Amino acid sequence: MTNTNENNVRAQLFLLIGRITDPLLNTFTMVALQEAPDHFWHKPSSAGNHHPPDEHGDGGLALHSLRVARVCWTLCQSRPDLNPDVILSAGILHDIGRYGLGENPSQYTLPAHPDIAADFLREYGDGLIEEVACAVETHTGRWGRIQPRNETEWLVHYADCIAANYQEWSNRII
């Protein structure tokens, strides 16, 4: 990803954080994203057919996270009974541990990345942060170790599925 594209994706993610109205959750999401390993901004979202082609290269993971967050925001607008702050924070941070959190990232997606990310997020506290961590921990749905247990967690999972497959299904809509 060029510096211009990386800066654009980064700026758009931080703009979305501005929509989080709970001050604690806003600050938590901002700090967690700032603490994301450098490879979060440079690794692909996947190398296979599970994501759109523009997410297969440098910066694809950050771009995918932006797309998931946007879908989360859109879906939670139709669900006033759910907490949009939790959903948006989870959408932004759901893949923060995809390649690990250290300076030496894995070459491939880590199967335990939902747990790695959730454990990282839990270091910041509890309450709403725990709700975000749970949504992150279950974002892989039936393919994960823990399946979603409530509507917030399912919504984040669905947003991830939609963002990962939007190009495939959007080409089929008449």
Angle, in degrees to the nearest 10, between helices 60-76 and 151-170: 120
25 alpha carbon, distance to own chain's centre = 15
Beta bridge partners of 100: 98
Domain limits, the chain: 3-170
**For the structural domain made of 3-170, what CATH number should be given?**
1.10.3210
- Confidence (pLDDT) at 174: 46
Q: For each of the chain's 174 residues, which pLDDT tens digit applies?
A: 566 577 899 999 999 999 999 999 999 999 999 999 998 998 888 766 677 667 667 888 898 999 999 999 999 999 999 999 999 999 999 999 988 888 888 888 778 889 999 999 999 888 999 999 999 999 999 989 999 999 999 999 999 999 888 766 555 554
Q: What is the pTM of this model?
A: 0.91
d(CA 16, CA 93): 12
Residue 23's pLDDT is 97
DSSP string, 47-108: SSTTS-GGGSSTTHHHHHHHHHHHHHHHHHTT-TTS-HHHHHHHHHHTTTTBTBSSSS--SS
Distance CA 152, CA 86 (A): 8
